[in-house]
Amino acid sequence: MKYLLNTSTDPHRNMAFDEFALEALTLPEPVFYLWQNAPSVIIGLNQSPYAEVNLPFLQEKGIVLARRVTGGGAVYHDWGNLNYSIVGSIRAMENAFEWVPEALCALGVPARRTGRNDILVDGRKCSGYAKRLSRGRMMIHGTLMWDVDLQTLTEALRVPGSKVDAAGVASVTSRVANLKDYLPQYGSLEAFREALHALLSAGDGPCPLPEDAAQRIKSLEREKFGRWEWIYGHAPESTHCKRQKFACGTIEVHYNLKRGVLSEVSFLGDFIGDRPAQELARKLKGLRPEQLASADAGAYFDGLSAREFASLFTD
């Protein structure tokens, strides 16, 4: 199978590369490419980052948030993770879901694909993948965990109701597998990458991109994948509730997010303050959650700092 070269490690640009490969390349046979992201969390097309991701942790650690064009759940990428994408006509991609598991087996990993969207080894997940169809073409892309930092993965995706819960790293370790433990003959991710690339290409060479490909991919990154409107604003409407105790008393906030901004807000609890909290609730409508740190909440909740108030809107 011929391959494309993608040396970018920028999550937003790599999401743009995927869309370009699916929408703009009309090649007779499937092509694949292996790529990496800098530390990042990639959420699915239909997910809310406020409900699926530990946003304060991402901000603290400088972890990038991106949204992909396929469904499925949030995933964490770091330098111990390798990603793959395969693009081609739907007819030519009939058995494409088996190509990566088969390649892993050929390398010595007892991998098998589940009925949904995971690749397992010894009952533990080593890969997740998703797909998208467009105008008679298909893209499959997924992760391959080589030596992922499970501590950071756990914290990045630790929010109420998420697949990775407060059980911590021990729980994660029991459900996922790093492939380096099964392939000691490959001393690094780069060696594993080269071996996998050789199997998937089977001697075929690179497929050149159009001359204007780099410019078009950068435009997609700038106009879509790197924009707040795509990463946050694309989120479907969601309902949230958080209850927390402060010096002023217990505050319980209920709020709705629509296209990434607050559409409904209400406060309950035994808190004390100089002014009615529902007055503040009305003022908050139309704001993004990340704008709340500048709200003058102290007049409504005695002694509450801006940072404490903003924490009510992070799950």
Q: What is the mean pLDDT of residues 217-230?
A: 95
Query: What is the percentage of the chain residues whose pLDDT exceeds 70?
Result: 95
Q: What is the pLDDT of residue 143?
A: 95
User: Quick one: which H or E segment has residue 23?
Assistant: helix 11-24
Fold assignment, 2-231: BirA Bifunctional Protein; domain 2 (3.30.930)
* Domain boundary assignment for the chain: 2-231, 238-311
Q: What is the pLDDT of residue 294?
A: 74
Q: What is the mean pLDDT of residues 170-186?
A: 81
Q: Identify the residue with better confidence: 170 or 231.
A: 231
Q: What is the mean pLDDT of residues 18-35?
A: 94
Is the distance from CB of 155 to CB of 170 less than 8 angstroms?
no
Please write down the HEC assignment for all residues of 103-149: HHHHHCCCEEECCCCEEEECCEEEEEEEEEEECCEEEEEEEEECCCC
Q: Please tell me the pTM assigned to this model.
A: 0.80
- Assess whether pLDDT exceeds 90 at residue 82: yes
- Assess whether pLDDT exceeds 60 at residue 105: yes
CB atoms within 10 A of CB 14: 27
d(CA 158, CA 166): 7
Q: What is the mean pLDDT of residues 230-253?
A: 86
Six token digits for residue 129: 């993948």
d(CA 237, CA 197): 41
Q: What is the mean pLDDT of residues 70-89?
A: 94
- Assess whether pLDDT exceeds 80 at residue 250: yes
- Assess whether pLDDT exceeds 60 at residue 173: no
Fold assignment, 238-311: Enolase-like; domain 1 (3.30.390)
Same CATH fold, 238-311 and 2-231?
A: no
For residue range 260-300, list pLDDT tens digits in order: 889 889 998 888 887 888 889 888 998 888 888 777 888 88
Residue (of 66, 70, 46, 54) closest to 235 by Cα position:
46
User: For 62, which DSSP code?
Assistant: T
Q: What is the pLDDT of residue 275?
A: 81
Q: What is the pLDDT of residue 166?
A: 44
